[in-house]
């Protein structure tokens, strides 16, 4: 009898987390107005020494190298593939405007041409 009352008091004392279907207020208003229609999938773990069916799933997603990022539309087929390799990849929901092609990602990583003079040792010295 005593243990059941202690148990009920402990259950009431522990905070319960409620699942919320609304988005948090910290997200930007631009992201809220535009629907999330694509997955951004990045391979975080290497596929070396994995079974061939998991390697095939990564290949069908278009991922060949570690830290490579690809974009796919939301669909049941893509969701199933992602669930199969969920321990290896990082998945984010992004709007269509955030989707980048392979060449766009390449140019974003490239350094700008030329050089910038940060400082001049000759001008900084005083006689």
Task: Classify the C-alpha dihedral 75-76-79-85 as positive or negative.
Answer: negative
Residue 33 belongs to a domain: no
pLDDT at 114: 86
Residue 117 belongs to a domain: no
Residue 87 belongs to a domain: yes
Beta-carbon contacts of 58 under 8 Å, excluding residues fewer than 6 positions away, are: 43, 47, 64, 85, 88
Residue 121 belongs to a domain: no
- Please answer whether residues 81 and 122 qualify as being in contact, where contact means their C-beta atoms are separated by less than 8 angstroms: no
Q: Which residue from 18, 20, 24, 102 is spatially nearest to 64, judged by alpha carbons? A: 102
Give me the CATH number covering residue 101. Answer: 3.30.1390.20
Q: pLDDT by residue for the chain (127 residues), tens digit each? A: 555 555 555 555 545 444 344 444 444 555 568 999 999 999 999 999 999 999 999 999 999 999 999 999 999 999 999 999 999 999 999 999 999 999 999 999 888 888 877 777 777 666 6
Residue 50 belongs to a domain: yes
**Number of compact structural domains in the chain:** 1
* Residue 93 main-chain phi, psi, to 5 deg: -90, 125
pLDDT at 115: 82
pLDDT at 18: 43
Residue 89 belongs to a domain: yes
Residue 118 belongs to a domain: no
pLDDT at 27: 45
pLDDT at 7: 53
Structural domain that includes position 92: 39-109
């Amino acid at each position: 009898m005593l243990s059941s009352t202690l148990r009920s008091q402990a259950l009431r004392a522990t905070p319960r987390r409620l699942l919320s279907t609304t988005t948090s207020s910290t997200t930007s208003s631009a992201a809220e107005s535009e629907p999330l229609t694509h997955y951004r999938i990045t391979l975080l773990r290497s596929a070396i020494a994995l079974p061939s069916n998991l390697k095939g799933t990564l290949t069908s997603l278009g991922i060949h190298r570690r830290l490579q990022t690809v974009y796919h539309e939301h669909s049941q087929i893509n969701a199933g593939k992602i669930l199969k390799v969920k321990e290896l990849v990082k998945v984010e929901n992004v709007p269509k405007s955030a989707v980048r092609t392979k060449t766009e990602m390449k140019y974003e990583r490239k350094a700008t041409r030329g050089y910038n003079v940060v400082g001049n040792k000759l001008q900084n010295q005083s006689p």
